Structure 1
Amino acid sequence: GVKGCSTRQFQRRMSRPGKLHAKQTHDVLLDAIGYQTVPRMVDPSRMVKSLDQLYASAAAVNAVVLDHLKRWALKSRGMFPCDSGSGDGRVVYRYWKDVEGSPSERLVRWSCLKKHSRAMEKMTRSLSDDPSRLLDLCRHAIVLDSPHDVAVCLGQVAIDQEVRIERIKNRMSLTYDSGVTAGYRDLSINFRLITPATLALGVEVHVCELQLVLLRFAEVRSNEGHKRYISWRNLRGV
């Protein structure tokens, strides 16, 4: 990643037009003020200041990232949460290899963007009112059976030519203090997607989050355990 940029969202880098940037996107407004956007580049001096802008970027990336999630899950025995189909709202976890292309695929509960209320709460409580530090508006999870499967999935993300990993938080490490997260552990990857679609939309520098979660933790998190965690988090003010 770019030095000093791994924990922040940045607008596309702005540069005065010149011979070094022959292939630049055309923007009438930016041309009028003497600037053009340079795809793939990030500029630490131009951080995102608008939460609305961040959400617009997150929505665009979210439309692209699902194909990658499915591919990574398929190669690592990954699971996604699904409606049980019993009408009681219960969540079950199913291997993507068993769900893909079947009638059960419509039961998958894909993650939505982070709720506005929680984004505002996190920004004011923990991020000094700085929206550029919100790295999980577009966030998803792949659930796995074992640490070995977690390692395989991480490897699939790492070798994906359209992915740029910016940061990894390994809460499964023996050195990690799980008391900070009430005993919860996962492996969290912050990454950017650089694809023809994200380049065309101008969101190739938006940072997303992928959580690799062991099944036992996912089962606790999806039931009453998550409600208790939210209450505990609110008491801590984070």
Structure 2
Amino acid sequence: EDGRGQIEHLQKVVQMVGLAWDGSNSLCRQLNHMTLSKLPRKQQADYARVPAKSILVNPMLHEVDHVFVPGRADASSTVTSINQLYTCAAIAHLLVAQRIKVWAESGDGMFILRSKAGLALEQPEFVKWNDVKGDPSMDHIHHVKMKRLGRAIEKLLRSYRHEPSRLLDISRHSIVFANISDLTRALGNIITDENVRVERLKNRLDPRHSSDETAGDRDVCLN
């Protein structure tokens, strides 16, 4: 009964967020930033009045009319280069690797430990980040690597009709939780984290989700 209650609470949280994926809103894409030239004239004028030193833009970009609006995506301009995706993903991967430690701490989350005090473990084990953070002997917390280029190209050709903008998981990370209550608490902290913006949420713990589609796996996936 407690487990069912936690699942129902998670469902309510997901519904409140309003980003739940139901199959019909699956067109989450990689978008380019909005360029200043696409803004209405009044907004362009507002940006022009901002002191130049407060906007870190190479002067050459002004000359070619290629100044981007910080934090604003252009829904009409999807990413068409897989090289661009990997360049951005490499940076995002490093940044998110630090944020997931914060999220794991808030929800008592766990990571896989591969080695301890320089010695490889015979069997990888899960350790709570709150128990090992700052402990130098816990020297190899395993994080998921970026998707291999070959696998990305395979997915691009077989599933995404040669559209790089549909590749959403080149950089990926995961946190494991002992129970759904901890997961739900961490989920709330991720969604309200000003350092990231959640675009889509897949709740595969929802009883309505068919686990046959994911080979029996159940999780909560964020884009």
Give the TM-score, by structure 1 length: 0.72
User: Of 86, 91, 105, which aligns to 1:60?
Assistant: 91
The residue aligned with 2:101 is 70
CA pair 34-75 structure 1, distance change in 2 beyond 3 A:
closer
Judge which range, 136-145 or 82-91, deviates more.
Answer: 82-91
The residue aligned with 2:35 is 14
The residue aligned with 1:142 is 175
Asked whether the 8 Å contact 1:171–1:186 carries over to 2, the reply is: yes
The residue aligned with 1:106 is 139
Give the TM-score, by structure 2 length: 0.77
Asked whether the 8 Å contact 1:49–1:131 carries over to 2, the reply is: yes
* Structure with greater proportional strand content: 1
Question: AA paired with 2:33?
Answer: R
Question: Hey, what's the Cα distance between the residues in 2 that align with 1:5 and 1:40?
Answer: 22
Question: Hey, what's the Cα distance between the residues in 2 that align with 1:36 and 1:5?
Answer: 30
1:86-107 CA distance string (max 9 Å, x none) = 6365321100011100023321
- Structure 1: any 5+ residue segments left out of the alignment? 191-238
Structure number, greater radius of gyration: 2
Aligned residues: 189
Is the aligned partner of 1:87 residue 2:120? yes
Equivalent residue of 1:132, what SS? helix
1:17-65 CA distance string (max 9 Å, x none) = 8313235542344322223111111002211111111111011112211
- What CA RMSD, in Å, does the superposition of the two structures yield over aligned residues? 2.3
Question: Hey, what's the Cα distance between the residues in 2 that align with 1:6 and 1:74?
Answer: 32
Judge which range, 99-108 or 143-152, deviates more.
Answer: 99-108
Asked whether the 8 Å contact 2:211–2:218 carries over to 1, the reply is: yes
The residue aligned with 1:175 is 208
Question: AA paired with 2:112?
Answer: P
The residue aligned with 1:48 is 79
CA pair 6-99 structure 1, distance change in 2 beyond 3 A:
farther
Question: Hey, what's the Cα distance between the residues in 2 that align with 1:65 and 1:57?
Answer: 12
Question: In percent, how many aligned pairs have the same letter?
Answer: 35
User: Of 118, 126, 130, which aligns to 2:151?
Assistant: 118
The residue aligned with 1:231 is none
Asked whether the 8 Å contact 2:115–2:138 carries over to 1, the reply is: no
CA offset at residue 75 of structure 1?
1.2
Instruction: Name the structure, 1 or 2, with higher relative contact order (CA <8 Å, separation 6+).
Output: 2
Question: Hey, what's the Cα distance between the residues in 1 that align with 2:165 and 2:211?
Answer: 26
The residue aligned with 2:22 is none
Question: Hey, what's the Cα distance between the residues in 2 that align with 1:176 and 1:5?
Answer: 15
1:134-159 CA distance string (max 9 Å, x none) = 11111100001111111111111122
Is the aligned partner of 1:32 residue 2:63? yes
